[in-house]
Structures are given as structure tokens and as C-alpha cells.
Copies of this chain bind each other. A is one copy, B any other.
Amino acid sequence: MRLSVILFLIAISTVLAGSVTIKSLVFPTETSTSYVGMVPKKPMTLNAFTLCMRVATELPGERETILFAYRTRDYDELNVWRELDGRLSFALAGGTVMFQVPPFSALQSHLCITWDSSSGASTVFMDGKKSLTKTYKQGHTIQPNGKVIIGQDPDNYLGEFDANQSFVGEMCDINMWDSVLSDRTINDLFTGKRVPRGNVFDWETAEFEVKGQVQVVDRVL
């Protein structure tokens, strides 16, 4: 009897696991006008974070491309870039830390970035694989009350976009936590587990504001 219950629960979970539909953002062409604004669930005063997303882009390696921009009135508080030379970087209000990673492609990559202020430990994960650890901005705190933009790099508060740095491709499942998730949890997210949900951004419930030529399509996971 108890066994039947367990098997029933397993069956139900499998069915439910297969039924998640999420939104996916398609940026079909280079523009200086298309972007998606996202509203965080809580103020972005952060001493640590994990930021994850799924990204596919066929943009060539020799092009700076913005992947995530969080800017307050005066500072780029957290920008994630694919650099000219193909490296992945992130920048917290001054300086930048870079990682030599496999190139993005038409295939979707699962990308996570983790940073912890107390040690400065910074890592990236692609498809569940962890990078070596770099030390960056130890003791720093990310400031609240800015704006998160997907698709463009704002050179001032919500403007002065540069088409040459815009994102072209598909992006979804942008989730953020105010702590560093374990390696195992990040690998679980890559392979499709939907918990834990982000406490700064939770893609499944996130509100977003779409501007310009961005297609919002459904994706069944």
C-alpha cells in the first residue's frame, strides 16, 4: 500500500516535471531599441548572488554582446558580457573579471555566475560545468534601486543603447538568488530541476516589460 503511494507520487512528479511551460525571449535582429525590463522580487542589495539563464546566439566571437545589465542612476552595478575575444565577463561597478569559456552557438547553453563578497570568489558555470575560481571585488556590496535590462547595455539610466552591443538570439529562464548555490544545485538546474526558485528573479513568475522587436514565445520543458 505504501509502495503504491510512493510509485503514484513518482509518476505524478514525472508528469508534472514534463509539463512546465516557460516564456522565452527571441531577439531576431540587431537593434538599439529592443529590450526587456525585469522587476526584481526584492531590493537588489546583494553581498552574494547566483545569476542563471539559458542563452543561444549565433553572433560571431568578434563582437561585444551584453547578456544582462543592472544599472542604478550612476553606476553599472552588474553587467554580464560576452567579450570581443569570446571570453565571458562580469563587472560590478568598476573592474571586470573574465573567463575563457566555450563559444556560444545556436545550441542553448545554461549559464550561471556566482559571486560572494566575503571571499570575492567568482565562478561561472556552463551546462553544469564549473570554472576555476577567481577573486574579484571582495567586500563590495551591489546597490539597490536600479533597473535590469535584457538585450541592451544602457550607458546611462535606461538609455543610450548601442546596436553593436545588443543581444541577438534567444534567452530564457533568467533566475537570480541572493546567495551562492551549491555546485550540485546548479547542475540540477542545468539538467532541468525547477527548484529552488530564484528569490531575486524567478522566471516562472517574473513580470517583464517588452520594448521593440522582441518575440515572447512559449517553451515546454
Q: Which residues of A contact B (CB under 8 A)?
A: 2-3, 6, 18, 26, 56, 58, 99-103, 105-109, 124-127, 129-132, 169-170, 182-184, 220-221
Contacts and interface: CB of A to CB of B under 8 A. Distances in A.
B127 A108 contact: no
Nearest to A4: B2
Nearest to A86: B105
Copy total for this chain: 3
A165 B126 CA distance: 27
Contact of A106 (B56, B99, B107, B220): B99
Q: Is chain A's binding surface mostly helix, strand, loop or mixed?
A: mixed
* 10 closest Cβ pairs, A-B complex: A106-B131, A58-B100, A99-B106, A107-B129, A56-B132, A132-B170, A100-B106, A100-B105, A107-B131, A101-B105
Contacts of A170: 132
A48 to B, nearest CB: 17
Nearest to A131: B106
Contacts of A99: 58, 105-107
Contact of A130 (B108, B131, B169): B108
A102 B2 CA distance: 48
A101 B104 CA distance: 8
A137 B170 CA distance: 21
Nearest to A104: B100
A106 B106 CA distance: 21
Contacts of A182: 220
Nearest to A100: B58
Given A18-B184, A129-B127, A132-B170, A102 B100 contact: no
A2 B183 CA distance: 33
A58 B87 CA distance: 10
Nearest to A109: B129
